[in-house]
Chains A and B, each alone.
Chain A
């Protein structure tokens, strides 16, 4: 059974002006557990909408989305929230870190909404996994862009989700920080994590194992990468 199965997904929006926009049109798509997939496309192609649907932040207008065999549209909104908390980790282009808040407390944010009884040490462990053990009490404003994105990755990992969703995670970073982030993703994928990454940067996409191209709301190409680039070597 595929981890993610999209069956004929469509999404239409109504703009405030009244016109309707078709963001996704009849998308069918599968992602197996342990894959590292890049979804590439220009802006407005529907890739962020697809990401929102994959992350249970939005529901499709038509079609079915099965996550681990479960039809997510059938779930109550609170159960969707619990699923986001347990199964999905998000990484955003603009990091979305809380200002005036330490790296550690930012990382611990998902634990606030988890039903775990003990959360002690998890935040620190997650920060260690992105090599920021020495920055746990720094605030976002005291960290570089690359470090901020690593804090955000630690936050996505703290609840040990099966699926990591990254929306243009390197979009706001310089080349070197971008490669650092990609090397972290590659390491996480080697350890078994399923990762879906949205990008418009073909070079970043080449670090993934599979690239799906989206244009005007439809998947137009979907191919395996024969020899993914190794971010760590490039960075060195």
Chain B
């Protein structure tokens, strides 16, 4: 007996029962597509997330946000209490704060130059923005302390804004209007890319926070502040201190919830672990359930096929097939079908992942791990679901099968 000959023959047989094979392929195709999708997107999302977290957060930061509630999940109560003075007090009273930068943001502001208008996010920051956030001006310069104290109308614009408003011209030294207030462009922000929410962080304009408060938003509270701490190991202890100071300054009674939130590097890492667990445990589990269901469907269809093909099995035995040849044939038919479905699923999942990744700005997809897992998974499903039908097919004696 020639195994290659039998393998080729089994694959041709599988092609003769197109409807049955299609249903068997469907199960493994959907399962593997789901697996490929979540693994590839998960990998890309994780890579993106780690990069972004590094960019935004570093490992020695504490963020304070206006408004209470939890950082992830659950609605956050909008706060209107956090002020620059609060952060100043924290920096003074809590030891170990190296630097800090308050922030106020104005989303969807219209930025205009002549007849061209762009909608951008305007950030009010202090002169310590570069030091605290690690993002500098790639051309021109950042504003200094005198611009902040004097509420100067100067702006550092992102690449996207620069391209929208200036095309090929040089923006440095040019005048733009934010709302109806004129500003002078003094620098171009280092490119950043998109953040996990899909926001283009180059479609931003940074102005002195005092200017934003006095001339644009007319609000004296800030939305957040970032603190750079000397020793990240003490961040938890510092959090307690910060909490105490803020509750005292905001005159919160014992039963009242916080009207601010604090985020430390440790918490961010916990969130990363949580997200990773979802992406690499729970989502693949869903894919595995689809695969198991597909496997059960395959086993059922193959069992029905064995019953239907008893005479064929008898004939094969009569012309010289051994019991193991029959077993091998049905195992190959099942595995070949689910594997073909799996390969189709990898292709489907890959294109799905590409689409998803480009929608979510996750960057490029590396499908190799997912493809390997898909091939292994669909082979295993085929072997598992083909085993019982194969044993059943080889059980009757030749005379019984031919009767």
Contact = CB atoms under 8 A, between A and B. Distances in A.
B316 A57 contact: no
B56 interface: no
Contact of B325 (A86, A99, A113): A113
Contacts of B311: 94, 96
Interface string B308-323: 0001101111111111
Interface in A151-201: 155, 159
Interface string B1-26: 11001100100100011000000000
Interface string A85-111: 110001010101011110001000111
Contacts, number: 78
B203 to A, nearest CB: 61
Interface string A122-155: 0000000000000000000000000000000001
A115 B319 contact: no
A58 interface: yes
Secondary structure class of chain B's binding surface, majority of residues: helix
A98 B312 contact: yes
A112 interface: yes
B320 A55 contact: no
Nearest to A53: B399
B398 interface: yes
A113 B312 CA distance: 14
A58 B16 contact: no
B40 to A, nearest CB: 38
B402 interface: yes
Interface residues of A, number: 30
Contacts of A81: 317, 320-322
A75 B249 CA distance: 97
B86 to A, nearest CB: 80
B397 A55 contact: no
Contacts of A159: 319-320
Nearest to A95: B315
B16 A90 contact: no
A127 B306 CA distance: 29
9 contacts: A55-B318, A58-B398, A77-B322, A78-B322, A84-B398, A85-B320, A96-B312, A96-B315, A100-B16
Pick the 9 closest A-B CB pairs, nearest first.
A85-B320, A113-B320, A110-B319, A58-B399, A100-B16, A57-B398, A57-B399, A96-B315, A81-B322
